[in-house]
Homo-oligomer: A and B are copies of this chain.
Amino acid sequence: MYGLIGRMTAVTGQREALIGILLHAVSGLPGCLSYIIARDPSNDDSVWITEVWLDSLSHQAALSLPAVKQALEQGRPLIASMDSHMITEPVGGHGLFEPKC
């Protein structure tokens, strides 16, 4: 499996709008086993995103889906910075399943 842990900071006051765009885009993505969006309680503008994909290919393929492309276009102006970006190798746990497409 292929995983990502990232933190981004929204333009001041735009975190909830950015979260809304992300939530809308993440349902039913082929190969996506987990995609969780979270506020960072230590910074009013920051968002944590943790992702697990079957493999990096499914992650890559998702980036060209219309719904994801649209979300990226809508979201980009609301993002002030991409703060941290870690690649992981998930091995298991609870809450990993492919969406019914």
Residues on A lying within 8 angstroms of B by beta carbon are: 1, 3, 5, 19, 22-23, 26-27, 29, 32-42, 48, 50, 52, 86-97, 99
Contact = CB atoms under 8 A, between A and B. Distances in A.
B39 A89 contact: yes
Given A3-B48, A48-B3, A90 B38 contact: yes
Given A35-B93, A93-B23, A94-B29, A48 B99 contact: no
> A interface, by DSSP: helix, strand, loop or mixed?
strand
A95 B28 CA distance: 11
Given A22-B93, A33-B95, 7 more contacts: A36-B50, A36-B52, A37-B90, A37-B92, A40-B86, A48-B86, A50-B50
B95 A48 contact: no
Given A5-B48, A48-B3, A39 B87 contact: no
A95 B97 contact: yes
A52 B40 CA distance: 13
Given A41-B87, A86-B40, A5 B93 contact: no
